A = this chain, B = another copy of it.
Amino acid sequence: MNTTSCEVKPSATERCGCYTISDLAKEFEVTPRALRLYEESGLLEPQRDGQKRIYSERDRVRLRLIIRGKRIGCSLAEVKELFDMYDSSPGESGQIKRLLEKLDERRQALELQRSELALSLADIEQIEQRALETLRELENKGH
């Protein structure tokens, strides 16, 4: 039985809010390599126990943000940009406005993507229609 219910697995050495690299990797379905890359890219700064990385709750939150960032199509560099913005002045209206601008950029990019995607689907429909037509002709002839 777990006396120290840290997360799912008790690291036994430490208490709550502490994750090993593979803890987080499993939870977010990424590889340890990815986490190290994020660190190298300046997106995470886990503490160390000797050589071993120890991720805090804050790191975990950041990781979640990284993944969300990626999902909305940000590169790691862009995510870092957002982090830096937020870090430099967590409560300064100028920075928040910059953040809003960035978000707007992203949204525009996504909406462009969306419209192109719609075009693509239309393209596919069209090609499909032609193919179906050809197919019908063939089956009429064969019949």
Contact = CB atoms under 8 A, between A and B. Distances in A.
Number of copies of this chain in the oligomer? 2
Interface residues of A, number: 34
Contacts of A100: 128, 131-132, 135
A91 B131 contact: no
Which of A103, A116, A132: most chain B CB closer than 10 A?
Answer: A103
Contacts of A91: 134, 138
A21 interface: no
A64 B131 CA distance: 17
Main secondary structure of the interface of A (DSSP, over half): helix
Interface string A128-143: 1001101100110010
B116 A71 contact: yes
Interface of A: 68, 71-73, 91-93, 96-97, 99-100, 103, 106-107, 110-111, 113-114, 116-117, 119-121, 123-124, 127-128, 131-132, 134-135, 138-139, 142
Contacts of A139: 93
